[in-house]
Amino acid sequence: MASHVLKGITFIVLAFAFSFAVRLIWVYQFNDFESFKYAGQFMINTNDGYYWAEGARDLLTGISQTHDLSPIKESVSWLTYVFAMLLPLSFETIIFYMPAVLGSLVVVPIILIAQNLKMIEVGFLAALLASIAVSYYNRTMIGYYDTDMLNIVFPTFLLWSLILALRTKEEKYLLMTALEIIAYRWWYPQSYSLEFSFLGLILVYVLIFDRKNLFNFKLITIMLLAMMGLPSLIRFAGVIMLYVFFKQEKWQKFLWYLLALCVILFFVTGGFAPIWYQLKSFVFKNAIEMSADVLPLHFFSVIQTVREAGQIDFTVFAERISGHTITFILSLIGYVLMVKKYPAMLLGLPLLGLGFLALWGGLRFTIYAVPVCALGIAYLLFTSSVYITGLFVNEKLGNIVKSSFVILSSLGILYPNLLHVIEYRVPTVMNKIEVEQLDRIKSILDREDYVVSWWDYGYPIRYYSDSKTLIDGGKHNGDVNFPVSFMLTNPQESAARLARLEVEYTEKAFVLAEENETKSKEQQHNIMNNTAQMTLDYGFKDANDFLDALQTPLSLPAKTRDIYFYLPYRMMSIFPTVAQFSNIDIMSGKTIRQPFIFQTTRFKDLGATLDFSSGVVLDKAKGMLKIGNQEVPVKNFIQTAYTPDFKFVKEQNTIHPNGLFSIIYMQAYNTFLILDDAMFNSSYIQLFVLENYDERFFEPITLEAYAKVYRLKI
Ligand code: MN
């Protein structure tokens, strides 16, 4: 084996081992946490991972259900499925370790790029840094089972093959580039924006600097073919054929026809459509509004509650890319110097640019700038070390100073990132007891049954209990969140009827949407929001009248399956947010009076008063609650607890029959709840906190301190 190949492999193996070993710190830290483990393995720590896990599970068991939202055609599920078939490891082990293994692959293209520039040490340091840089680590850490594990690996490979294509003009890089584009698009369909930026940059470069070279036009042709709006397999076959064609000198003269053909096909097959759609949504913001419904309703927008979408400050931005602001700024200087020496490095701009989008578009983009910045800082460090050696007359002394400088600075660059890894102690999504309970109900419920819960628990519920859900990590717009929020925050009678209606209407809407695909425009069903459809079906014009009517004995649609309510303790802290989604007049879009719910574990008994913190104080003798400078009479004081043999008990005292707020002390959780009447009567509080289930509508299935599950009786 040629020595440079051996050298490259050695550095890659070392960098990979480093990246993987750093990711094991989490495992080491939580080794004794039995609550983080299930089925003999750690559970994953990202909610969305349960989506892919559901798809992979269904692929492995060969189950395909209609309308269950399981991603059995998606890339992550498929790759997991293939690993699970090939490897002698448990499914839980595979999904837990996959991100650490695949994410660490980012070291390969980084080292390969540097090796081509004849400075493999730069690549090695850059690989070490990139593999554990704050944002890259966060999204490829062990257990972070999501598309992120390859989202940076693919474009970094693309960067490598494009740089080498331009620098070496070797045909094999045409093939690699095209195959990477196909694989990247398969893995992550949103990848087109980066592919377009790369293509655009190549076009500009070729047209301005290098028009004479046929090789460049071959590159553009094969990239267009790889990016077309055709199925992956067809593009794959086309790319292979084109590559074989390019290898034949005598067919060179047909290149221009092929290029023209690819340009035409590219547009005809909708290759440009994703970008066109993006532009349209920017330029004509109002044009793509929802088509007017017979009954237009207004729902709460989920973006109003998502924190990530905001602007971030520069220090946070820099630290997430390089671990430290100074490192980040130096890395940009290094990148500029690198581009001056090696113009092909300009191809790093799309990745860098996408990273900078984080300043406006939210934290999740910083991850893209990581590899390019890592190369930049490593390059700066090694070029300055060469400069330092030159300062010394004594060569030996110069080398010692140089080596110390390189080693110390490298450690200095890695240190803040390592520190972050050690401090970033992310918990698993679920705990063992919760998962055991979901696994138990799996044997009770049917695969076609629905479990009603807030969207945060949708994917884990579907994965562990093999059921269906109304909302989940991907389906949680205001209109679908509304009915679930309504069920959880309204009395049991309305909640029960709406649950039956929503499930049956959701199933019906799936069928109608499917039928629409085969019908002409005129014959298509008009599918509107379920709540709007129900309102009209029950003969109302105002959706609020329909919602009020849920308290009366409406005739309900035929029951096609069972429905369960999954009410976890976890939801307590986000219950005010849950409530927001139905605390809206959907006819006008205006917010209704804010419901009052206050939860605290920081309270002090001061004898005559009970201080709940945040300016909420109970005057025990008067039974009055002071909230800021308001004073309101307390209606109920309730205490819940478990007996030593785990029997749920509660004790209720009415203080002022006409009181406004109720106080609940949940001894098992050492938590106080203060609620207004509406919140007190909500299904979640009645069913989870008090176990006051209305026997006409609900029957308990499993009642545990972490979560309570009820079956709907209607
Ligand atoms: Mn399913």
Ligand 1 mean position, distance from CA 499 (Å): 19
627 phi-psi bin (left φ>0, alpha ψ -120 to 50, beta other): beta
The yes-or-no verdict on residue 292 having pLDDT over 50 is no
Please, which residues bridge with residue 709 across strands?
A: 566, 702
Ligand 1 mean position, distance from CA 518 (Å): 25
Per-residue pLDDT band for 282 (boundaries 50, 70, 90) equals low
Ligand 1 mean position, distance from CA 444 (Å): 15
The yes-or-no verdict on residue 303 having pLDDT over 80 is no
Please, which residues bridge with residue 673 across strands?
A: 599, 664
Q: What percentage of the chain has pLDDT greater than the value 70? A: 96
Q: What is the mean pLDDT of residues 333-359?
A: 95
SS3 percent helix, strand, coil of the chain, rounded to 5, is: 60, 10, 30
Ligand 1 mean position, distance from CA 463 (Å): 8
* pLDDT (tens digit per residue) in 423-461: 999 999 999 999 999 999 999 999 999 999 999 999 999
- Residue with token string 């000198």: 249
Ligand 1 mean position, distance from CA 582 (Å): 28
Cα 586 from Cα 583, distance rounded (Å): 9
Is residue 88 classed as helix, strand or coil in its secondary structure? coil
Mean pLDDT score of the chain:
93
Ligand 1 mean position, distance from CA 235 (Å): 31
Ligand 1 mean position, distance from CA 146 (Å): 19
Question: Given this model, what pLDDT does residue 271 score?
Answer: 82
The yes-or-no verdict on residue 289 having pLDDT over 50 is no
Q: How many helices and strands, by DSSP H and E, does the chain display?
A: 30, 18
Ligand 1 mean position, distance from CA 688 (Å): 26
Instruction: Tell me which residue of 182, 12, 113 sits closest to 344, measured CA to CA.
Output: 113
Ligand 1 mean position, distance from CA 531 (Å): 25
Q: Which domains does the chain have, with CATH numbers?
A: 2-423 (no CATH), 432-560 (3.40.1380.40), 569-712 (no CATH)
Ligand 1 mean position, distance from CA 517 (Å): 22
Q: What is the mean pLDDT of residues 338-345?
A: 95
Ligand 1 mean position, distance from CA 706 (Å): 24
The yes-or-no verdict on residue 563 having pLDDT over 90 is yes
Question: Given this model, what pLDDT does residue 284 score?
Answer: 56
Cα 680 from Cα 714, distance rounded (Å): 23
Ligand 1 mean position, distance from CA 87 (Å): 24
Ligand 1 mean position, distance from CA 467 (Å): 6
CA 68 to the chain's CA centroid: 20
Per-residue pLDDT band for 288 (boundaries 50, 70, 90) equals very low
Asked if 330 contacts 409 with a C-beta cutoff of 8 angstroms, the reply is no
Ligand 1 mean position, distance from CA 65 (Å): 6
Ligand 1 mean position, distance from CA 59 (Å): 11
Pair type for strands 590-591 and 563-568: unpaired
Ligand 1 mean position, distance from CA 70 (Å): 6
DSSP code for 426: P
Ligand 1 mean position, distance from CA 288 (Å): 33
Per-residue pLDDT band for 86 (boundaries 50, 70, 90) equals very high
SS3 readout for 626-640: EECCEEEEEEEEEEE
Cα 625 from Cα 609, distance rounded (Å): 10
* Residue count of the chain: 714
Asked if 261 contacts 220 with a C-beta cutoff of 8 angstroms, the reply is no
Q: What is the mean pLDDT of residues 395-402?
A: 89
* Helix 314-322 vs helix 325-341: crossing angle, to nearest 10: 60
Cα distances from 614 to residues 45, 133, 631, in angstroms, run 32, 38, 15
Dihedral angle computed from the Cα positions of residues 266, 272, 274 and 277, in that order, rounded to the nearest 10 degrees: -140
Per-residue pLDDT band for 291 (boundaries 50, 70, 90) equals very low
Q: Spell out the residues 6+ positions from residue 235 whose beta carbon is closer than 8 angstroms to its own.
A: 182, 225, 226, 228
Written as six digits, the tokens of 255 are 């290149």
Cα 665 from Cα 685, distance rounded (Å): 12
Instruction: Tell me which residue of 491, 147, 196 sits closest to 349, measured CA to CA.
Output: 196
The yes-or-no verdict on residue 178 having pLDDT over 70 is yes
Instruction: Tell me which residue of 299, 218, 304, 294 sits closest to 262, measured CA to CA.
Output: 218
Cα 688 from Cα 112, distance rounded (Å): 56
Cα 529 from Cα 534, distance rounded (Å): 9
The yes-or-no verdict on residue 285 having pLDDT over 90 is no
Give the phi and the psi of residue 151 in degrees, each rounded to 5: -65, -25
H helices of 105-151, where?
107-116, 120-132, 134-140, 148-151
Ligand 1 mean position, distance from CA 477 (Å): 21
Ligand 1 mean position, distance from CA 431 (Å): 22
Is residue 277 classed as helix, strand or coil in its secondary structure? helix
Residue 93: which H helix or E strand, with range?
A: helix 91-104
Cα distances from 551 to residues 288, 321, 493, 494, 711, in angstroms, run 37, 54, 6, 5, 19
Question: Given this model, what pLDDT does residue 557 score?
Answer: 96
Cα 505 from Cα 484, distance rounded (Å): 13
Task: Give the N- to C-terminal CA distance of the chain in Å, as an integer.
Answer: 72
Read off the pTM: 0.93
Cα 224 from Cα 520, distance rounded (Å): 33
Question: Given this model, what pLDDT does residue 306 score?
Answer: 52
Ligand 1 mean position, distance from CA 15 (Å): 40
**More reliable by pLDDT, 388 or 331:** 331
Q: What is the mean pLDDT of residues 372-392?
A: 94
Ligand 1 mean position, distance from CA 579 (Å): 28
Can you say whether the dihedral through the CA atoms of 339, 343, 348, 354 is positive or negative?
Answer: positive
Ligand 1 mean position, distance from CA 257 (Å): 49
Question: Given this model, what pLDDT does residue 551 score?
Answer: 96
Ligand 1 mean position, distance from CA 443 (Å): 14
Angle ∠(561,567,573) on CA atoms, nearest 5: 145
Per-residue pLDDT band for 302 (boundaries 50, 70, 90) equals low
Can you say whether the dihedral through the CA atoms of 374, 377, 378, 380 is positive or negative?
Answer: positive
Written as six digits, the tokens of 230 are 């055709």
The yes-or-no verdict on residue 593 having pLDDT over 90 is no
Cα 500 from Cα 286, distance rounded (Å): 36
Asked if 216 contacts 206 with a C-beta cutoff of 8 angstroms, the reply is yes
The yes-or-no verdict on residue 1 having pLDDT over 70 is no
Cα 376 from Cα 126, distance rounded (Å): 8
Please, which residues bridge with residue 634 across strands?
A: 661
Ligand 1 mean position, distance from CA 77 (Å): 14
Ligand 1 mean position, distance from CA 465 (Å): 9
Ligand 1 mean position, distance from CA 480 (Å): 19
Ligand 1 mean position, distance from CA 35 (Å): 26
Is residue 642 classed as helix, strand or coil in its secondary structure? strand
Residue 508: which H helix or E strand, with range?
A: helix 492-516
Ligand 1 mean position, distance from CA 107 (Å): 37
Ligand 1 mean position, distance from CA 438 (Å): 14
Cα 300 from Cα 586, distance rounded (Å): 9
SS3 readout for 432-482: HHHHHHHHHHHHHCCCCCEEECCHHHHHHHHHHHCCEECCCCCCCCHHHHH
Asked if 460 contacts 438 with a C-beta cutoff of 8 angstroms, the reply is yes
Ligand 1 mean position, distance from CA 50 (Å): 12
Ligand 1 mean position, distance from CA 133 (Å): 37
Question: Given this model, what pLDDT does residue 209 score?
Answer: 84
Per-residue pLDDT band for 290 (boundaries 50, 70, 90) equals very low
Ligand 1 mean position, distance from CA 468 (Å): 6
Instruction: Tell me which residue of 121, 123, 104 sits closest to 113, measured CA to CA.
Output: 123
